[in-house]
Amino acid sequence: MKKKIIIGSRKSELAITQTKWVINQLKKLGLPYEYEIKEIVTKGDKILNVTLSKVGGKGLFVKEIEQALLDGSIDFAVHSMKDMPAEMPTGLMLAAVPEREDPRDCIISKNNLTIDALPKGARVGTSSLRRASQLLAYRSDLQIESIRGNINTRLKKLHDDHLDAIVLAAAGIKRVGWDDKISQYLDVDVCIPAVGQGALGIQVRENDQETIDLLSKINHPPTKTVVTAERAFLHRLEGGCQVPIGAYASLDGEDIYLVGIVASADGKQVVKAEGTVKKEDAEKLGISVAEQCIANGADQILSYLKGE
């Protein structure tokens, strides 16, 4: 008799695609389990007419799923890592971080234009303060328009709302097989990604050793290491997905490099820091780079954004 494992996921096409990908990785192990997806609607999915920064609170796309885990109605959850707050509820843990997809942001534009080729005053759609602030820091003439919704909705708004371009995570576009729509991948020098962008976080109850053991088989240690550094940066800054914080870590042999950014919503204040250490000190690196940012005024930007 196979044991059935119930997996919690958001209902969007991208979330289900990601969850099915995880299930396929597990099926390849040939173990005696059946898998069922339970679709869960989160607060962030319900409120689509307000920008994320105005909805407030952390974990807009994960809280309801985490509650289902705590209640025992699901066995594990598949999240986009960039949606996960730096702090996890008591009793839950990250059991696995599979290999990362492309962490960069990308532009999808009319006439396939790059960010440099967009006309003066171009209207660019994004729901992310992090993207908006960095785009404005790079090109202050751009008109940023807030757009929410799934990938299909945002692509439709590109045309229906007469936008010149939209900015999205490249990983999501690639996972649904729409690479051909991408006009340009934004270099990290232009737009530092969200913490954990392109990676999946598989969350489980701390006391469910059987499921932890199963999920450990699809963990990708290099990805977990770089994500650990990025999340330590976020945790030290006490940030959520609705504030303009970005971080990107990469491995070079035994060394790990991290660059982090905190920016004002208008892109006029940008605090950036970086560092390199041995990869076993990934968490310390995240904290160190965050503290460099704080020393250079990041805490003032964040306090202002939080209305403190």
pLDDT tens for each residue of 263-281: 998 999 999 999 999 999 9
pLDDT beyond 90 at 153: no
Q: Does pLDDT of 134 surpass 80?
A: yes
- For residue 192, the model assigns a pLDDT of 98
Q: Is residue 252 part of a domain?
A: yes
pLDDT at 57 over 70: no
| Residues 4-32: tens digit of each pLDDT | 999 999 998 899 999 999 999 999 999 99
Residue 239 pLDDT > 80: no
Does some domain include residue 192?
Answer: no
Q: Does the residue 131 lie in any domain? A: yes
Same domain as 168, residue 36 = no
Query: Based on the domain organization, do 278 and 256 belong to the same domain?
Result: yes
Please, which residues bridge with residue 9 across strands?
Answer: 39
pLDDT at 54 over 60: no
Helix axes 282-295, 221-237, angle to 10 degrees: 30
Task: Tell me what percent of the residues of the chain surpass a pLDDT of 90.
Answer: 76
Mapping DSSP to helix (H, G, I), strand (E, B) and coil, where does residue 161 land? coil
> pLDDT tens for residues 63-120?
899 999 999 999 999 999 988 888 889 999 999 999 999 999 999 999 999 999 999 9
Interatomic CA distance for residues 298 and 263, integer angstroms = 8
Q: Provide mean pLDDT across the span 33-41.
A: 95
Q: Which two tokens stand for residue 308?
A: 């403190």
DSSP 275: E
> Is the same domain home to 274 and 286?
yes
Q: Which helix (H) or strand (E) holds 134?
A: helix 129-138
Check whether residue 77 and residue 207 sit in a common domain.
yes
Question: What pLDDT shows up at residue 284?
Answer: 98
Co-location of 6 and 77 in the same domain: yes
Q: Are 125 and 102 in contact (CB under 8 A)?
A: no
Catalytic residues: 83
**Mean pLDDT, residues 304-308 taken together:** 62
Contact 13, 151 (CB under 8 A): yes
Contact 149, 48 (CB under 8 A): yes
Residue 223 three-state SS: helix
Reduced to 3 states, what is the DSSP secondary structure of residue 288? helix
Q: In this structure, are 215 and 239 located in the same domain?
A: no
Task: Check residue 49 and report its DSSP letter.
Answer: S
Residue 112 in domain: yes
pTM (2 d.p.):
0.90
Q: Residue 22's pLDDT is what?
A: 97
CA nearest to 293, candidates 257, 263, 248 = 263
Burial of 99 (0-12, 13-18, 19+ CB in 10 A): middle
Are 237 and 255 members of one domain?
A: yes
Q: Which pLDDT belongs to residue 141?
A: 97
**In 3-state terms, what secondary structure has residue 200?**
strand
R_g (Cα) of the chain, nearest Å? 19
Average pLDDT over residues 141-165: 89
**Which structural domain range is residue 215 located in?**
1-98+199-219
Q: Are 149 and 164 part of one and the same domain?
A: yes
**Structurally, how many domains does the chain consist of?**
3
Residue 267 falls inside a structural domain: yes
Q: Is residue 122 in a domain?
A: yes
Model confidence pLDDT, tens digit, residues 189-222: 999 999 999 999 999 999 999 999 999 999 999 9
Which pLDDT does position 56 carry in this prediction? 54
Instruction: Judge whether residue 55 has pLDDT over 80.
Output: no
Which range among 52-56, 150-154, 166-170 shows the weakest confidence by mean pLDDT? 52-56
CA-based nearest residue to 23, from 93, 95, 76, 82: 76
Average pLDDT of the residues of the chain: 91
Residues 24, 73 share a domain = yes
Half-sphere exposure of 43 (CA within 13 A, CB side): 15
